[in-house]
Amino acid sequence: MGGVFLYVFIFLLALILAYNFLGRGKREPQKRATLPPGSMGWPYIGETLQLYSQDPSVFFAAKQKRYGEIFKTHILGCPCVMLASPEASRFVLVTQAHLFKPTYPKSKERLIGPSALFFHQGEYHTRLRKLVQGSLSLETLRNLVKGIDAIAASTLDSWGGGHVVNTFHELKKLSFEVGILAIFGHLDARYSEELKKNYCLVDNGYNSFPTNIPGTPYKMALLARKRLTKILSAIICERKEKKLEDKDLLGCLLNSKDERGETLSEDQIADNIIGVLFAAQDTTASIMTWIVKYLHDNPKLLEVVKSEQKAVRKSNDDEGNQPLSWSQTRNMPTSYKVVLESLRMASIISFTFREAVADVEYKGHLIPKGWKVMPLFRNIHHNPDFFSDPQRFDPSRFEVAPKPNTFMPFGSGVHACPGNELAKLEVLIMIHHLVTKFRWELVESQSGIQNSPFPVPMHGLPARFWKESTS
């Protein structure tokens, strides 16, 4: 019997092997994910020179036209996959965000501080993001309106007289002061001036070549960053001595404890304060500068915005020269659509950097581990499939909500800008003072864009401003 079972076992085994062997040739070969189409350029330098020898928007648009909505390239020393569709952006930033970590050059991390929230993901990032969002809640913003109104009025009042103003540089002053207000509340003038002086040096060196040679912008920025740490340490020490329970960002950071009862270190607090200042200043100043240009270039629209804002101002003047109120800033429909359309047109955050933490497959394409991944917000915002006649400035298009994931001026997902409501509030208040108090003309007619690093009108939009009669 044992011999029979052995023969049966051998026979069955032979059948199984034969089936597998014969069947293998009939199976569909398994498709392997391949790299997206595109060019990697020259060895080492890739296509970096092509990128910086022209408007980056033109570079990316040409690539998309040639290769489609997902393509590869090699820039800034890194192999990259570019994504120019809403679905792909959502895949990277929302649904599969755990597969893509935020990434920045180490030279830039050193200037802002390695503990800043936008360099992280996971538990630490979640904790810091909640703290920042908590310090910028709608209730907090309501209480900031009066202070932002005073800052905007003071900044713009220095523009009159018809002398040439670098609009972007002046609006950076406004956004810096608003950042100080949101972070510290009312800060002693001596601290404010020292912060401003040293932060400007950090800002100037941020996009310079990273070298430790004395006298270079980057080395000066590193030294200024060390001084900023000392200044912030003094402010923190003073705040701790007073034992205040302030609801500004510094108060939220100081009073925070995790589930183990541990507080944030002074370095962590300093890094996140500098990070918030960095995120708040240039981006908001850039969009405000574009609004000055867009309103100038669209005189009929300017008249509609003026009419809306002058009605608000008349109401406040009739009540004894009152400042703007929170409710008024929430009821500026035309001006608000101007803000949204400016965010779309200018696309200040043109793209964002991520890095694949594992090999990832997307629609048959391989995104290798370690490659940079860049969702291209500007390409999506200027796609005629989502926004008709996308090069035309038309705030009325926002009378209807955009299609999902096609309008991402502040990014998307867990790393979206937590200060977006503060930014929009600041911009609306600036518009109010601009159109009710001034007329202006641009000094230079060219329509070029410079990236420093965010897109702004050429040369910071030089302009002349004259105060209008209040009668």
* Token pair recorded at residue 341: 């359309």
| Beta pairing partners, 246 | none
Instruction: Give the C-alpha distances (Å, rounded to integers) separating 13 from 2, 5, 27, 76, 268.
Output: 17, 12, 21, 57, 65
Whether 375 is in a domain gets the answer yes
Whether 430 is in a domain gets the answer no
Whether 373 is in a domain gets the answer yes
Provide the 10 A C-beta neighbour count for residue 133.
14
* Token pair recorded at residue 421: 């409501």
For residue 80, what are the domain limits?
33-105+348-381
Question: For residue 454, what is the DSSP state?
Answer: S
Q: Encode pLDDT of 372-420 as tens digits.
A: 999 999 999 999 999 999 999 999 999 999 999 999 999 888 888 888 9
Whether 199 is in a domain gets the answer no
Is residue 416 within a helix (H) or strand (E), and if so which, with residue range?
A: none
Q: Say if CB 296 and CB 441 are below 8 A apart.
A: yes
Whether 469 is in a domain gets the answer no
In whole angstroms, give the CA distance from residue 167 to residue 459: 9
In whole angstroms, give the CA distance from residue 153 to residue 146: 11
Number of domains observed in the structure of the chain: 1
Whether 275 is in a domain gets the answer no
Per-residue pLDDT of the chain (471 residues; tens, 9 = 90+): 444 444 433 443 344 334 344 444 444 444 678 999 999 988 878 887 887 777 777 888 899 999 999 999 998 778 999 999 999 999 999 999 999 998 887 888 899 999 998 888 888 999 999 999 989 999 999 999 999 999 999 999 989 888 999 999 999 999 999 999 999 998 888 999 999 999 999 988 887 778 889 999 999 999 999 999 999 999 999 888 877 667 889 999 998 888 888 899 999 999 999 999 988 888 999 999 999 999 999 999 999 999 999 999 999 887 768 889 999 999 999 999 999 999 999 999 888 889 999 999 999 999 999 999 999 999 999 999 999 999 999 999 999 999 999 999 998 888 888 889 999 999 999 999 999 999 999 997 667 888 767 889 999 999 999 998 765
CATH assignment of the domain containing 87: 3.30.43.20
Q: Encode pLDDT of 298-337 as tens digits.
A: 999 999 999 999 999 999 887 768 889 999 999 999 999 9
Q: Which residues are annotated as a binding site?
A: 417
Q: Which residues are annotated as a binding site for heme?
A: 417
Whether 453 is in a domain gets the answer no
In whole angstroms, give the CA distance from residue 192 to residue 194: 6
Whether 400 is in a domain gets the answer no
* Token pair recorded at residue 411: 């990014």
Instruction: For Cα atoms 283, 408, 386, give the angle at the middle one, nearest 5 degrees.
Output: 130
